Amino acid sequence: MFDFSIVTQWIHNLLTSFLPEDVAVFIECLAIGVCILLGYAIIAIIMIFMERKVCAAFQCRLGPMRVGPWGTIQVFADVFKMLIKEIIAIRHSDKFLYNLAPYIVILASIMAFSCLPFSKGMEVLDFNVGIFFLMAASSIGVVGILLAGWSSNNKYSLIGAMRSGAQMISYELSTSLSLLTIIVLTDTMQFSEIVERQADGWFIFKGHIPAFIAFVIYLIAGNAEVNRGPFDLPEAESELTAGYHTEYSGMHFGLFYVAEFVNLFIIAGVAATIFLGGWMPLHIPGLDGFNTVMDYIPGFVWFFGKAFFVVWILMWFKWTFPRLRIDQILTLEWKYLVPIGLVNLLLMVIIVVFDLHF
């Protein structure tokens, strides 16, 4: 497995050979920031195109086909249209908070995106409290959504924002319990360490029943946390027009739209990292030839393959199940997922304490 830290260290040594170290670090930070924003935009474009094609497949349609081969340029045309659309100023709104809200949402999404370990040595933010930082950063998005609904001075937007806040805060508890279950198993919150612990088997296979239950709970709760169907009550078109971003137009609406799709990828990327081995290849004990062939596949191919597989599962959920009522959504969380998650966490503690895991 190739270690990209060799490349990054070579670049650092090259820059420091003819520049002061402070200047070299500053240039490296700028380059990393540009790479993150570029990767964020590319992922958003891929996700939007994938959503349209997967939706069309489940509805026995073809999806966008006219602009470019198989509709591949349709997303670029939509991005250009969004960029040139007028941003309409809403009368009687809180102008400052109204304009600030979409940037808070996109900032929280970019911070969470930066925590994903794409391959060995390709971790941008690899803290020893990485999972804690990811949960904290992603939670900031709730503030932007609440500000968007309140500052718009629209009752539909306010109701959508309140629904979204209640739903996201509630389901964050289940996602945290699922991640905490794996933290108990690995005794670390650092993403790179969690991936390294899966070198001899992914946790979905070797973590016993609690790891599988945590994976299922995480998929359900993560889907609800990013307001995706069937948990898309905050954007219920039949009731609230477009929810908390009803009054937004132009690129302000585009920021909400992009953040929603990339947040779905972040949920899938974290699931791939925590439960499916991240960039670690598939190894089967006893099949040395098979394992050697798997090691030749680059780590980032494994990561993106697993992440987009989880994305496909979550899209399958959205286009299969009907939208739930708000009371059903909160009942599912507080009466079922939270108690199951707590019992599952206790079961994992027992397995670890008595050394019952593989």
Is 29 exposed, middle or buried, given 0-12, 13-18 or 19+ CB atoms closer than 10 A? exposed
As a whole number of angstroms, the distance between CA 10 and CA 7 comes to 5
**Res 238 pLDDT > 60:** no
When pLDDT is cut at 50, 70 and 90, the band that residue 216 belongs to is very high
Average pLDDT over residues 195-204: 87
* DSSP for 25-69, written as a single string: HHHHHHHHHHHHHHHHHHHHHHHHHHHHHHHHHHTT-----SSSG
Average pLDDT over the chain, rounded to whole?
Answer: 88
What sign does the dihedral 81-82-84-90 (CA atoms) show? Answer: positive
**Residue type at 102 in one-letter notation:** P
pTM of the model: 0.91
Question: pLDDT at position 228, please?
Answer: 82
pLDDT of residue 339: 95
Residues 293-307, mean pLDDT to the nearest whole number: 90
What would the two tokens of residue 115 be? Answer: 């925590």
How far apart, in whole angstroms, are the C-alpha atoms of residue 184 and residue 190? Answer: 12
Cα 337 from Cα 177, distance rounded (Å): 10
User: Can you give the residue ranges of every domain in the chain?
Assistant: 79-353
Please report which confidence band the pLDDT of residue 237 belongs to, taking 50, 70 and 90 as the band edges.
low
Q: Is the pLDDT of residue 325 over 90?
A: no
Judged against a pLDDT cut of 60, whether residue 358 lies above it is answered with no
**The tokens 């954007």 sit on which residue?**
235
Query: Which pLDDT score is estimated for 161?
Result: 86
pLDDT at 234: 64
E strand or H helix at 259, and its extent?
A: helix 250-274
